[in-house]
Amino acid sequence: MSSWWRWRYLPPNVLTSVSLMVAFISISESIAGRYVSAAWLLLLCALLDKADGFVARLFNASSRFGVELDSLADLVAFGLAPAIMTLSYLAGQGAAHDLADVRYYRYLVFSGTFFFVLAGALRLAKFNVTTEDYGKGYFFGLPTTLCGALVGCYFLSVHKYQLGPEFIQALPIIMIVLGLMMVSRIPLPKPGPGKSIVFNIVLVISVVAVYSCGLMRVFPEFLLAFAIVYAVVGSVISIARGIKPPKPGPDDAEYA
């Protein structure tokens, strides 16, 4: 076996490790009260997560080790990091908004953020114990990457346009809804090239636009709208087509 054949696993795993490091920095930014920076770092994690998957396919470097490492990184980046950002902003020391000192609202913040993390863990665990054929071509339930990015985009968009405090205060409810969507079996097509040249051109332009905005830290409202349209339109079309999750095969572990 050639040296290249062994080393081809390194690039995607390095990208996954960088994503984990960025998620750690995002958490530290939230603890320090720099929430806008923390949210942008969340989006950088999402871009890195998609990049490591692309590189793994490009080098034919998918491995069980890579899957496990990616899932652990995703739980930190798209479960813990957005939850800590929200918890710190709404219920942390020095939180300044109308409901900051309301006991029952604080309970809601803790419950919503914990449920979001738990749902992400359950989804990633389900992904790890099912065969590749189970999710071939479609996600069943919103992916953790998309949900974590939605929280970051929403926070940045509200902050950019200085919307009323009720928009940020709604985050725990939004995270509960996203958590339910993660553990659901709603079909969502996986992004990728199609048979239509027009579709592929639009796809390339969209990817370039998303990465440009994320790396340059501009237009979070575009990223939010793009993510929502993908989730809603993709799910509606898939349901209309009658796409349903296949029954777990003999090689799939049982899950709730």
Residue 255: predicted pLDDT: 46
Q: Would you say residue 189 lies in a domain? A: yes
Q: How far is CA 190 from the centre of its chain?
A: 13
Is residue 143 in some structural domain?
yes
Q: Is 143 left (phi over 0), alpha (psi -120 to 50) or beta?
A: beta
| Residue 120: predicted pLDDT | 97
Distance between CA atoms of 110 and 136, rounded to whole angstroms? Answer: 35
Would 153 be classed as within a structural domain? yes
Question: What is residue 135's predicted lDDT score, i.e. its pLDDT?
Answer: 59
Record the pTM.
Answer: 0.91
Which pLDDT score, from 0 to 100, does residue 256 have? Answer: 44
| Domains contained in the chain, number | 1
Residue 65: inside a domain: yes
Across the chain, which has 256 residues, the per-10-residue mean pLDDT values are: 67 92 97 95 95 83 85 96 95 71 86 97 87 72 96 97 91 97 93 82 92 96 96 94 74 48
User: Does the residue 248 lie in any domain?
Assistant: no
Q: Is 32 helix (H, G, I), strand (E, B) or coil?
A: coil
What is the pLDDT at residue 55? 86
* Inside any domain, residue 119: yes
DSSP character for 232? Answer: H
In-domain check, residue 84: yes
Tokens coding 245: 């999750």
Range(s) of the domain holding residue 105: 3-240
* Structural domain includes residue 95: yes
Write the CATH number for 204: 1.20.120.1760
